[in-house]
Amino acid sequence: MDLKLLVLGFLIVAAYWSAEGDADPQAKSSRLLRKRDSARRKRKSDNSFDYFLMVQQWPASYCDTKKGCCFPVTGEPGPFFGIHGLWPNRNDGTYPSSCGNEAFDPSELAGVVDHLNTKWGTLACKSRYNEDFWEHEWSKHGTCSGLTQHQYFQASLDLYNNFDITGALRNAGIVPDDRFYSIANITSALTELLGFAPQIECNKDPEGNRQLHQVYICVAKDASTIIECPASIRNPCQGSVQFPVYGSAPSRHAVSTVEVHASSVVMTESIDSEL
Ligand SMILES: *[C@@H]1O[C@H](CO)[C@@H](O)[C@H](O)[C@H]1NC(C)=O
């Protein structure tokens, strides 16, 4: 403590001396301050990015984690990958977030709300309103995209519609049947669709099985052209992963509404009869 104070005192005196030596100490120190402030401002407001990550999730894998899931008030999502988000990202692996403070405005989504409800539904139990999910994605990522809100959500939907991940996997015989598929096979099926390899993220279900959870597609700044992912994006998932049956989630992790149970009964029964 004493030593710290001593050092601090010495630094102050030294700074004073060195400032005194300058022809115009006040100009010098204000110049330094300005420089430092602008550097800080620049870091904070550095909204630059190099490409987008378009992230989609397999609902059953999301639901199969310990924290479970809840279906949106608009209803149970279909047996398809759903949009998680369109995220500006930098080649060095960092990313800008919460750029500016343009508030989420649902009126900008007029005309696409139905599509968003079916393709970009929330699975979090924190809120079962899709608007809360979209607001989070817009505020954290969309505000850094350089797109208007309508453009941001429309570009995400276009990417989703133009590249049918669920269908490409199905065409390669990779279907959600609780079996294990190699990441190599999954990647090659999706590369055929996209032209470039996506990145695959896995999660673990409560039994410790690794599951196919999220697919990351790298997209140019035009928000529509698929590009090769930069080296900083490393596929964290290797080997084989389970592609969990869709609809198994509510039976293992009780979800709050009766209709959710009812609508998943058929699938739940077919799982049980397989066991
Ligand atoms: C991968 O694909 C090959 C060729 O279609 C197939 O024989 C093999 O069983 C697949 N393996 C897995 C684990 O998906």
Domain segments of the chain: what residues?
A: 51-264
Atom of ligand 1 nearest to the CA of 184: 1
Which residues have CB under 8 Å from 77's CB, separation 6+? Answer: 59, 71, 118, 121, 123
Which residues have CB under 8 Å from 146's CB, separation 6+? Answer: 47, 221
Rounded distance from Cα 180 to ligand 1 centre (Å): 10
Q: Which of 169, 182, 191 most suits a substitution to test ligand 1, by most atoms within 8 Å of the C-beta?
A: 182
Query: What is the DSSP code (8-state) at residue 31?
Result: H
Task: Read off the pLDDT of residues 64-76 as tens digits, 9 standing for 90 and up.
Answer: 877 788 888 888 8
Residue 251 in this model has a pLDDT that exceeds 80: no
pLDDT value at position 4?
A: 53
Mean pLDDT of 193-219: 93
In contact, 218 and 228? CB cutoff 8 Å: yes
Phi, psi of 55 (to 5 degrees): -110, 130
Residue 148 in this model has a pLDDT that exceeds 60: yes
Return d(Cα 261, Cα 107) in angstroms, integer.
33
Superfamily classification of domain 51-264: Ribonuclease T2-like (3.90.730.10)
Choose among 61, 96, 97: nearest CA to 80.
Answer: 61
pLDDT value at position 54?
A: 97
Query: What is the DSSP code (8-state) at residue 226?
Result: B
Environment class of 150 (CB within 10 Å of its CB; exposed 0-12, middle 13-18, buried 19+): middle
Ligand 1 proximal residues by C-beta, below 6 Å: 181-182, 185, 240
Q: Which residue has the higher pLDDT, 158 or 25?
A: 158
137 is catalytic: yes
From the list 131, 135, 137, 213, the catalytic residue is 137
